[in-house]
Structure 1
Amino acid sequence: MTQKLYIYDHCPFCVKAEMIFGLKNLPFERIILLNDDEATPIGMVGRKSLPILEEDGRFMPESMDIVTHIDQQGTPILTGTPNPAITEWISATSSTLYRLFLPRAACAPLPEFATTAARAYFLTKKEASTGPFFEILKDSDGEIGNLNTMLKMLAPLIRSPEAVNGTLSTDDIHLFAHLHSLSLIRGIVYPPAVEAYRQTLSRLSGVGLYDGIAA
């Protein structure tokens, strides 16, 4: 069975879908769409939304539906019990993270922005909710400091570099996707436990971090 995953490189939901293939060591075809390509996803699932999994001509949207579907192929690996404290930490940092992440994604050398039109499409859509990106980029120090404080609170929650709760669970899918987005922001300081975790999950999942292009 041929499995194709349509994604944007920057998209945290797409990262979640990619992770399960890497964690289970399953082959798949990774297809990155231009950000302004509306026709392809609409033709598949009726709306512009990624990720989309294609299996033998059938299409499945929604990142966690894909994660569950792939995890059930063979022996499941996401068997650990989620920790509500991880969900709370992600929720508490989400607003600040994505406010800082989106302007940096818009500037990053990512394949979904390979054309001027694709990058402009993203900028126009996202600025409608965040306000002008240049204003956010001009003054990020305070918010970066707040995220660094929150990362110190995350560190004691990490029980193992290979699984936040000691056994792989859906918490790892959500937390690593969050940390993946965070890696695009320069000035973030990772406590040792968080650094070990994000590097290990990056290696195990095959999803690279943005440290080298952080801005």
Structure 2
Amino acid sequence: MKLTVFGATGGIGGELVRQALDAGHEVTAVVRDPARLTVTGDRLEVFRADLTDPEVVRPAVAGRDAVLSGLGARTRKDAGVAARVTRTVLRAMEAEGVRRVLVVSAGPVGPEPADGVVDRAARGLVSRVLKGVYDDLREMEAELARSGTDWTSVRPPRLQNKPLTGTYRTVVGGFPPRGRFIARADVAHAMLRMITDEGTVKQGVGVAY
């Protein structure tokens, strides 16, 4: 497949690029600073772009089978970036007739899992502390829902920098019970697997160990 990855210099974005190349896909990595991209490969195209103008982004998504985004706020001060950049990407995709897009959101944005009281309390505390970040992700998901794309929002819990396992749980329209952690590498793995999974189209998907 021909894939475009936004946020390719981030933890999940970098894993998306690396794993997609390893699987034999052609990858366009959209970055602001190419020097920060550590992944290399014969089937890799690096596309430098300011992600504020859909017209600038259109060549990066034209003719692609799917677009994947690991973009999101790295700190509370960055809140707003996910919705803003996703809006640009969606406009570019719609202009080029590209339909499939998968993005990273977060577990607390989706329905509350049927966990124990302790897990619900912890989830509520995190949601209050990171309210601006999660409000940004909710607006991002609203942008997806308003678009004409075949979107999937992948909602992980707390992220870890650990090796790929390929073993995790997913729940379409919900969240895995007692799912507290997942490696960024496994989030990327799940996203790549979902590209061709019609059951995840226009859905939020919880993913966790």
Same fold (TM over 0.5): no
Q: Which has the higher contact order (CA 8 A, sep 6+)?
A: 1
Q: Give the structure with higher Rg (CA).
A: 1
Tell me which protein shows more helix as a share of its residues.
1
Tell me which protein shows more strand as a share of its residues.
2
